[in-house]
Amino acid sequence: MLYSPEFTRPTRLQRLQGAQWQVRGIQVFMKREDERDALLGGNKWCKLLGHLEQARADGMQHLVSVGGLWSNHLHALAHAGQRYGFATTGIVRGEAAHITPTLREAQAAGMQLKFVSREEYRQRHEAGWQAQACVALSHARFIPEGGAGEQSLSGLQQMAAEIAGQVSGEAWLAVAVGSGTTLAGLRRALPGNIRVQGFQAFADASVPERIAALAGSEGWQLHETQGMRQHARLPQALADFMQAFSSEENIELDSVYTVRLMARLDEMIRAGDVPDGCRVICLHSGGLQGRRGHSPALAA
């Protein structure tokens, strides 16, 4: 196996202490994947694991992927490349003049950056465009946006096995959803006693179909979240929630994904939409580095 022990040592389930998390016998826990690894923690390591192992097995030396100015994925890929001996190239939607601390750190970890227009970026899911992105590079492989694709399933299976070993009886697993890759991979591998609740950070109508293609249509559900149509900004109500959560629970949330998950879950509990006595495990999918994209005051 490519990875070292930090990826096989279980992360903790931390019980939330605030009174609003324990009404009507409900118990809420945070699965602290953010604590697994400072650079690859959250859902990054498990989505990248299979891609890295396959690339290594196929003799690849260079990994190419895409992302935005504050991309958690490119940031993690750059550091994974540095740690495991791959050259990396990040194709970024935007202009070099707008380089962010996220991209500067990716560069410092050895990633070559290539900036493309919005129009060109729209082609990123096309096989021809992906092949073209690798063509001038030696032994290079394209990794889909966010680490999606079949290769993500092996690492997610590993995380699912860890969660299944920590949770017996009926429970909900609450996960933040972007592309839906994490939800689909976990759903596929988790036992039936764990129902997966996805909280969409972005309005993307193709997500349910993509999840169903990988995981079928049973045992999971999607919920809309506050501000999911304006993710470039952090609505004040979410910024306030994030701050209150941090001081009550001593857990930092990221400003795109986990803040929307926890704020919506809080609303659902208050509205009586979470069954009495339910145990809810919330996956902390990391992404704290991206907080700098919203405000220097939120910098991790």
Ligand X SMILES: Cc1ncc(COP(=O)(O)O)c(C=O)c1O
Contact 124, 66 (CB under 8 A): yes
What is the rounded CA–CA span in Å between residue 26 and residue 103? 41
DSSP output for 96-123: GGG--HHHHHHHHTTEEEEEE-HHHHTT
Q: How far is the CB of 152 from ligand X (least distance, A)?
A: 8
Choice between 84 and 202, CB closer to ligand X: 202
Q: Which residue lies nearest ligand X, judged by its C-beta?
A: 287
Q: How far is the CB of 220 from ligand X (least distance, A)?
A: 12
Choice between 194 and 262, CB closer to ligand X: 262
What is the rounded CA–CA span in Å between residue 170 and residue 278? 8
| Nearby residues of 144 by Cβ (< 8 Å), 6 or more positions away | 65, 125, 130
Q: How far is the CB of 97 from ligand X (least distance, A)?
A: 25
Sheet with 140-142, edge to edge strand ranges = 111-116, 87-93, 62-67, 140-142
Q: How far is the CB of 67 from ligand X (least distance, A)?
A: 9
What is the rounded CA–CA span in Å between residue 156 and residue 52? 14
Q: How far is the CB of 21 from ligand X (least distance, A)?
A: 20
What is the rounded CA–CA span in Å between residue 195 and residue 264? 17
Choice between 61 and 101, CB closer to ligand X: 101
Q: How far is the CB of 174 from ligand X (least distance, A)?
A: 12
Q: What count of residues does the chain have?
A: 300
With residue 160 as reference, give the H or E element that holds it: helix 153-166
Choice between 181 and 197, CB closer to ligand X: 181
Residues that bind ligand X (CB under 6 A): 42-43, 72-73, 146, 176-183, 254, 257, 285-287
Beta pairing partners, 8: none
- Token pair 């196996």 in the structure block, residue: 1
Choice between 150 and 170, CB closer to ligand X: 150
Choice between 140 and 215, CB closer to ligand X: 215
Choice between 81 and 290, CB closer to ligand X: 290
What is the rounded CA–CA span in Å between residue 248 and residue 115? 41
Q: How far is the CB of 251 from ligand X (least distance, A)?
A: 14
